[in-house]
Each structure stands twice: as structure tokens, then as C-alpha cells.
Amino acid sequence: MMISVVASLALTLAAPQEGWVASYQAYDAAMAANDREAAELHAREAWEAASQTLPPSENRALLAQNYGDLIVVSNPAAAVAPLEDAVELAGLGYGTANLSAELSQYLLDSARSLAEPDNSHLARTAFKSWQSVSQEELWFPNTLSLQRTLIKQLLRRRDSAEAQQIAASLTSDRTRFDSLPFDYRRDVAFLWTTAVSQRVPSDRVDSLVSYQSFREAIIEPAMLTASIAREFRPAPTFDQLSQQLADIRAWIYISRTLYDTHGGDLDEWQERVGSYPRLVEVPRECRGVRVEWTRRNLNYDPKGVGYWNGVVTAAYDLDDDGKVSNPRIIAEIPATRFSGVVERGLPKWRSGNADQIPERCRKDLFVDILFTVDG
């Protein structure tokens, strides 16, 4: 609920005979009881009654804001009407002490965009209104949720520059950002990386300055992703490995490779990004073991998988002859694009030093495989 203490006081002082008052009180009781369904019902009743009986006023604006904000994420189509009312009333100067006119407009544009997800114009309109919202209001709970959703909408439309701008803004206050739930922080880090990777410079067109800008852009989300990875510890055994950590490491790996292939200094990368945990603890006798490959090819048609860049983390075993067996996909970006290529191709790889590796150290090995525009 976004209604402020002052706003709530204004509502409680309203004339008790007005129908919207009882509905608002029922809404307030439902929220206190954590009954979301009842709260939405009574919030709607309060706004509808106020819109029919009250002239343009502070209370009517507050009730429109309250109902619209309450359902903008869960039911954006239904949120359009109360938010239109809130925006109109904000233009008359009502309700702006609770929500700014700019935030009301952003909530409305977000609701319209979510209600029509295939309309790219509405997503861009939501981005333009996002640019006018104050930094403080961008940290409201629903606003945070809407920003994550807007990034996804923009990325689907290849509006990666706009998506990158929102992600960077969300992480500009790291103290606040680090206090957000893990899933939200992880999603923003992944989406930020996706936005930057969609803007890979062209070898034939872009200048060295563009390469430098790209390297700086790709290392920023990588630093964030690595900091999230450091919240984990390596699993004691393969069967206990964390899927979340596997996914996070895959995102770091693709960022690192893009940085490297565009002229980046990996020593600088390591210094800025820092270390992050391995997936599984390595037994003492296996530390330092390195597999040397005599055959390591994956033949595939990039057009056949429909995506140019990606990474797969796979686990595998080696037999005495250096043949790969038991390939398993641990993490994949983007999902389901390249797993078939790896599952078919990895068993054809051959190691030339398997007979020098202790048997225990030839089980549950890992490899990160990057797929680029060159195949």
C-alpha cells in the first residue's frame, strides 16, 4: 500500500456516511489480515464509489492511486482505469504529495504496456515516463517490480540501450540494491548482461573507442554478478551442487569471454571482477589436474540454433583411453539453445593425458563452452 500516513489521516477524517469510507476501512482491515483478494475487492469498491460521488479532490486521488498501485502488477488491465483517474487528478494538483504526477504516469504507462505485451510502442512509452520518475520513487516496491518487467519487455524488442540504462540505474545505489531479495538482484544482473551483450560492436564498422566502451559496459554487470556468486560456497559433492551458482557462473563466463574477445586485458578483468567460488570442492589429490585435449570440436550451424552468442556449462567423465562419457548439461545461456549440440558433440572429444590422471579425478569434470557469432 502506497498511501502515506498523512493520506490515511485524511481518509479517516472523511464523513462516515460516504459509501467509499466503509469500503476503504474494509480494505484497510483486509490488508492488516494479509487477505490480498479481499483487499483488492474493497480497494476497487472504494475507488469506484469515490469516483461516482466525489468531485476532483485529494481523497478521490488517493483512492485511485491506492487501487491502481495495488493491482498494477497482478492485474495491469484492470489498473488502467484507476491510474488514468489518478493521472488526471494529479494534473489538477490532487494526490501529488503521496505519489508524484510523474510516478502516476509511469504506473499508468506500465499498466498499459503489461496489458498489451505485444505492443512495442507502449513499452517505449513506459521507458520514457520512467526517465521522469525521481530516484527515491523508483525504489518503491511495485516500481522495482515494474522496472524489472520493463527491462524484459525492452529486451524482447531489442531495445537493449534502454534496458541497459534501467539496469544500471537500479544498481547505482549498491547499499539499497544489496538489501533486495536474492532473486531480484540475480535477475537484474542477468538482464543487464543480456542488454550489454546485445550491443556487441561490429568488427567491420565500430571503432576501437566503441570496443573500449563495450568492454567497460560488459564488466560492470560482471562485477555485480560475481559479488552475488560470492554469497555461495562450493558444494561438498557433485550431487549437492547449487543450480543457482551454476547459472551465475555461466553468466560471468560469457561476460568474461566477450570482454576478452573485444580486446580486454584479463589481468585487469580479474582485478576488477575478483574471484568467485567453484561449483564443487576439488579433492586435494585432484587439485592442479588439467585435461589436455587432442580433439575438441563442435560442429553446428549457428543459424540452426537461432541465436549467435551463448554458453553451456557441462559435466563429464573420462575413461582410461581419454574418451568422454556421461555428458550432463549443468547450465545454459540462453536456455535450451545449445544443449543438443553439446550432448552430441562432447562424446567425440578426446583427451591425450587421461592415463596420467587418477581415476577419482576423471569423474564429474566441468567444461564451459562458449558459442559465438563465428560458431
Closest residue by Cα to residue 223 from 257, 195, 183, 189: 189
The predicted pLDDT at position 308 comes to 62
**To which H or E segment does residue 328 belong?**
strand 324-333
Q: What is the pTM of this model?
A: 0.86
The predicted pLDDT at position 9 comes to 40
The predicted pLDDT at position 300 comes to 72
What are the φ/ψ torsions at residue 278 (nearest 5 degrees)? -75, 165
The predicted pLDDT at position 5 comes to 33
pLDDT digits (tens, 9 = 90+) for 129-173: 999 999 999 999 999 999 999 999 999 888 999 999 999 999 999
Q: Residue 295: exposed, middle, or buried by beta-carbon count in 10 A (0-12, 13-18, 19+)?
A: exposed
pLDDT digits (tens, 9 = 90+) for 247-261: 999 999 989 988 998
The predicted pLDDT at position 375 comes to 42
The predicted pLDDT at position 303 comes to 65
d(CA 323, CA 352): 9
Mean pLDDT, consecutive 10-residue segments, the chain of 375 residues? 45 59 94 95 96 95 97 96 98 96 98 94 96 96 95 92 95 95 96 89 63 92 97 94 95 91 92 95 90 85 63 93 94 83 91 92 92 61
Q: Decide: 94 and 56 in contact? Cβ < 8 Å.
A: yes
Residue whose grid cell is 509511469: 106
CA 249 to chain centre: 15
